[in-house]
Amino acid sequence: MRRGIAVRLSLSALLVTGTLVGTGAATATAGAEGSVAQPLSAGLLSALQRDLGLSPDEARTRLAQEADAAETEPAAREAAGDAYGGSWFDPARGTLVVAVTDTGRADDVHATGAEPRLVTHTDAELGATVTALDRLDAPASVASWRVDPRANSVVVTLVTGAERDAATEDFLAAARAAGPVTVSATTTRAPETFAAGTVGGDPWYTGNVRCSIGFSVHGGFVTAGHCGRAGQQAYGWDRSLIGQIQGSSWPGNDYAFVSVGNGWWTVPVVLGWGTVPDVLVRGSAEAPVGASICRSGSTTHWHCGTVLGKNETVNYSSGEVVHQLTRTSVCAEPGDSGGSYISGDQAQGVTSGGWGNCAGGGETWHQPVNEILGAYGLTLHTA
């Protein structure tokens, strides 16, 4: 019995410090220099091997290549100028690919270490198309839409098996009139948020909702906006008061800032849940499309996958629409909402929602952490 109590107390201490999950002292733009320079844990390599089918050596190589790609991206984007058509990480080549609409910019992009790819549409054109679609009224059969740099198009995802009624056809016609649009019908279920009813022993609660902590910032932590409203009290796994939700945006966005006090504190850590050692957060350099990414949450703990797309608008089954989310192949379940997405040691975002589960698979979306930091003027807590 005493052994069991000791284990529970050890876990609770991690939830109070590490799950207040955080990261260090960088600003919203901080982060490129940290990457995977620190020694990699065997647990992290094992998780990547399990979820991405990689050997330990392949996982080490991929993390190093992804860190290089993230560091190269800003210079490559600048080199492409107004011909920039987006970028992504190509795991087969182990390099950053940058789309350009002007062959004259290809050599400049190549000089940064990225591989140029000639396309028709600029990133600005594709972004304008997404903005136009955001103004439309999407029916329930439409799951999401996003810029896909590899397709050089805006991809509209439909729910497989959903009725292609007049409202769906009207939406698709208006979407195609707005710009370059491709239709995909690969989502088996409409996306949902991952909040849950109260379950004992979880990181934080508000009202009768359980969610997961995202990342520590100076003064508190960031999480999902659909977990609660500004002014509500936030409680820890043991139901003791953590603080108060200082700001919350939902729908349209899906993020919130919770103040921390009352004996709780923040640390630059993402909880590994025994699957991997707890991960120190060293910055928030954004991983490119195609890069590996892992998620920590209070229900399904630690899982990994890849970044599938960015700047995606998601039409949740409950009727709320959220913009500028990042799509991943990582699974999640109710209660994981608000939890951490991290690539190497770089904070990426907080869990918004998705479809499927961690038994049969699925996809999830996260709200990019740098957007949250900028919205509230927060500073990331980093190691």
List, by residue number, the catalytic residues: 226, 254, 337
- With helix as H, strand as E and coil as C, how does 61-104 read? HHHHHHHHHHHHHHHHHHHHHHHEEEEEEECCCCEEEEEECCHH
Backbone φ, ψ for residue 156 (5° rounding): -100, 125
**Residues facing residue 357 across a β-bridge:** 361
CA of 213: how far to CAs of 102, 153, 266, in Å? 43, 34, 11
The closest alpha carbon to 366, from 280, 253, 271, belongs to 253
Contact of 278 with 289, CB cutoff 8 Å: no
Tokens of 135: 């103004």
Say if residues 229 and 245 touch (Cβ distance below 8 Å).
yes
User: Whose CA is closest to 85, among 68, 67, 103?
Assistant: 103
Distance of alpha carbon 232 from its chain centroid, rounded? 25
- Answer whether 344's CB lies under 8 Å from 36's CB: yes
Question: Which one, of 247, 279, 264, 254, lies nearest residue 338 by Cα?
Answer: 254
